[in-house]
Amino acid sequence: MSKRNKLLKFAEIQSFPNVYENPNTAKPELLGLYGAVVDLKGKWCTEHFKNENPLTLELACGGGEYTVELSRRYTNRNFIGVDVKGARIWKGSKVALAEDLSNAAFLRTRIEQIALFFEEGEVDEIWITFPDPFLKEGKANRRLTSPQFIKEYRKILKPGGIIHLKTDDPTLYEYTVETLEKEEGCTILYHDDDIYAKPLPISELDIHTYYEEKHLAIGRLIKYVKFTI
């Protein structure tokens, strides 16, 4: 994607009523329509979605395929796709607006700052869909299932709330299982290193992201972990 195209998308999402941004990590604040400062912490459902339905986050949402499809399937739930890249969020947010999916929204922020924008117990469920596995030496703490991220999720997830990881990467899958087995308070509810070799345990796993389609095309196996923290 050209730099000019990215800048055009960055500018366009500022006019989208379903997109919020935290552009300055050194001075975190939430910006809404046309850059207006907003405060939705603890109020996402009542003030943005105008209801009190359960809230699901899709972390590292990319183009927001899971956020969009889940919002189509479950109109009685609210969904927020979270990613640091505005040009990625542009795609999903534009689809949601075109289809009038009022239960889908998007947040551009670094995920390590997620607890700044959600209240304790505000989130019912989290999906982590094909995140960067950070395979380089010394980068394990940047994986979205590392102890430091689990600590942040605990700040916003309701007791008993479910987290789902879907990945093609064997290192991230094995790391996640090992981390959860060691981490106090974590419980693995289900895990599988080849979900399409058998009937799916939940129907939501049949949603394919852009990256999953690429991985499947070259024969990579798709892995899944379902857990609580």
**Which residues are catalytically annotated?**
132
Question: Which of 55, 15, 31 minimizes the C-alpha distance to 107?
Answer: 31
Answer positive or negative: Cα dihedral of 129, 71, 210, 208.
Answer: positive
CA distances from 83 to 18, 99, 188 (A): 14, 21, 25
CA distances from 7 to 85, 87, 108 (A): 11, 8, 15
Question: Which of 67, 149, 55 minimizes the C-alpha distance to 110?
Answer: 149
CA distances from 130 to 4, 94, 168, 169 (A): 27, 21, 7, 8
Bridging pattern class, strands 30-31 and 37-38: antiparallel
Q: Is 12 exposed, middle or buried (0-12, 13-18, 19+ CB in 10 A)?
A: middle
Rounded Cα distance, 131 and 34, in Å: 29
- Angle made by CA atoms 38, 70, 189, in degrees to the nearest 5: 105
